[in-house]
Amino acid sequence: MRSGGPLVGLLVALVVVGGGAAAGAPGRCTTSTPVKAYAKCIALPTQGATLAWTYDARNATLDAAFTGSFISPSGWVAWGVNQDAPAMAGARVIAAFSDPSTGALLALPFVLSADVKLQAKPLVSRPLDIPLLASSASLIAPARTVRDGASVTIAATIRLSPNRTRVHFVWNRGLYVQGYSPTIHPTDASDLASHATVDILTTATESSPIASARLQWAHGSLNALSWGLLLPVGAALARYLRPCASAGPAWFYGHAAVQATGYALGAAGFALGIAMGAASPGVTYKLHRGLGIAAATAGSLQTLAVFFRPKTTNRYRKYWKSYHHLVGYGCVVVGVVNVFQGFEVMGLGASYWKLGYCMALATLVGGCVALEVNAWVVFCRRQHEEKLMRREVEDVVVKDRAAAF
């Protein structure tokens, strides 16, 4: 859950609305809620969430209501504030979910420490260290129970620090609650970007931009085609065409052309990934990024190695070939693994796009297995034929020596 930290005197309302809004689409805000009418409202940038509030500057009191949506009957929705930055660590939040014992709606306070972010220990409810004057929670009609898309309002009145009107808000939602402990939220781009800084006097909002869907699809398509297909095909060409005498030097030109094309497209996809990361501060996918950097580094080393390839008569040629094979196959494996990781990042883990890629990859792997078996059959046959020829030669030599005596 992305959340904010200790804000002297702030705890806000949570309105969880089951409108089934798109994960990244802003909702329509309204100043009228089932609890009360508010003076101002804004549509938050992700999860279809909205925020409504009334601020009394005389006593620095804030009445607020946050609107979001459940994504599971056993899920949770939470919203909070951070004094220092729009981040999860150090946040003071309220989480709304169904009581596992009675089924009644709960709105419990949580303090999010760094240990919670690292999942070193479960999230346990405890009183907030900020002045909370009042709070409540209720489902919004027609919802009667917590379900996917159900609506709920959690409202609160809090006292802010005097003359502090720029507040870091964070919010999120998850699929499960273990006992009374919300579990980790999804890690889609919109979920990781669920934070904003709002001036409660002017409604001016600052939020982290999310990379456009078109840019994400371009990044995914280029990388799936290059690291996930072209580079494995290029490696297969070198592996299975080179032993064919009839192919001549065609295997080398085919291998070089496919690999060069794959690397160029992969470099473009990698550059788009870097641009997307720069445009979305706070949105990080450590494993996906690490695998991408490893694949790009291995691909670059392979490209540079071509310019330092020794001649066939050079004694160091065998070492270069070993390096070229090791780094090349390693690049292929890391690239394919990262393509699958990319499907998960984009929320396409159970999509037809992933199925199509799996079918293409399975076809390639099946072809390679068949060619590998054929190569070993040919190799064993040649070894057997050479062994028979050596025996015939040895028999002839023995006969000639016997005749000489």
Q: Which residue pairs, CB below 8 angstroms and at least 24 apart, start in 103-111?
A: 103/145, 105/137, 105/138, 105/139, 105/146, 105/152, 106/137, 106/180, 107/14, 107/135, 107/136, 107/137, 107/154, 108/180, 109/11, 110/78, 110/80, 110/182
Distance of CA 24 to CAs 3, 43, 234, Å?
A: 17, 12, 38
Q: ∠ at Cα 182 (125, 348), nearest 5°?
A: 160
CB 205 within 8 A of CB 197: yes
- The 3-state DSSP class for residue 15 equals strand
- Residue tagged 């000639």 (tokens): 400
* Residue 325 labeled ligand binder: no
| Gap between the Cα atoms of 376 and 146, Å rounded | 61
Q: Which residues contact 172 (CB under 8 A, 6 or more apart)?
A: 1, 2, 3, 47, 77, 78, 185, 191, 194
* Residue 324 labeled ligand binder: yes
Strand-pairing partners, residue 110, are 93
Q: Which residues contact 287 (CB under 8 A, 6 or more apart)?
A: 341
Q: Are strands 76-82 and 166-174 parallel, antiparallel or unpaired?
A: antiparallel
Instruction: List, as residue ranges, the binding site.
Output: 219, 255, 288, 324
Binding site for heme b, by residue number, is: 219, 255, 288, 324
